Amino acid sequence: MTTAPKYVEGHNLLRGKSVLVTAAAGAGIGFSAALRAAEEGCRALMISDIHPRRLDEAVANIKAQTGLQQVFGQLCDVSQEEQVQVLINAAEDKLAGVDVLINNAGLGGQTAVVDMSDEQWSKVMDITLTGTFRMTRAMLPFMQQRKAGVIINNASVLGWRAQKEQAHYAAAKAGVMAFTRCSALEAAEHGVRINAVSPSIALHEFLKKASSADVLEQLASKEAFGRAAEVWEIANVMMFLASDYSSYMTGEVVSVSSQRA
């Protein structure tokens, strides 16, 4: 097992850009992506989440760590169309236009197919897949009108790889991949890029609550480095996709993983 690499300092990859990140409160990939965006020099940032206290703490944390004062929080449940519309309109207003949208909201779980209820299946689908669709649908008209913009979706290697008790989550993430490819072709006609990252395993508090310790340890041990990814290692790839360095990339699903799909 190797140790995690040293944290990578910002290089102003997003200088002058505004960024909106969903499900960005707490300690997961979303918060790390928001923090990295500020460290990469974005001019303004909005994060959303469904937890008021955690959202306020995340906004204050990013301000304190980076010195960026144009950081805003907005409550949003991506399974509710009305709240999605409020979020997009608030971001367009507060950020003077959204340059980068990171669709991070998702919901997992660990349930065998024979034990899975319709409600469990539908909830994972509604937040993970349909929530990504709702956010993209609401954001695209603004970006297409400006003939510029980047959308990054958070998928998973489970969209390719089979794993027991993950049928609902894997199906939703495979849907995110397919949605990314198809929507990217439509958006490209208007100068907007849509890509996705596909992490294998990035360990954080939310994941620890959703999966057993034994399963997480087993998955991490199979990785080439013998460890799970740090959340910021996933966020770094998001920053590349958000930056002008990836200007010819669209409709791609980038595997942030040390295993083959």
Chain centre distance of CA 248:
21
Specify whether the CB–CB gap between 188 and 181 falls below 8 A. no
Residues 6+ positions from 215 with CB-CB distance below 8 Å: 110
169 catalytic per annotation: yes
Q: Which residue has the tokens 């197919």?
A: 113
Specify whether the CB–CB gap between 153 and 132 falls below 8 A. yes
Alpha helices in the chain (DSSP H): 29-39, 52-66, 81-94, 118-124, 131-146, 167-188, 205-210, 213-221, 231-242
| Token reading at 48 | 């959303």
CB atoms within 10 A of CB 87: 24
Please pick, among 7, 169, 245, 248, the residue that the annotation labels catalytic.
Answer: 169
Which burial class, exposed, middle or buried, applies to 251 when counting CB atoms under 10 A from its CB (0-12, 13-18, 19+)?
middle
What are the catalytic residues? Answer: 169
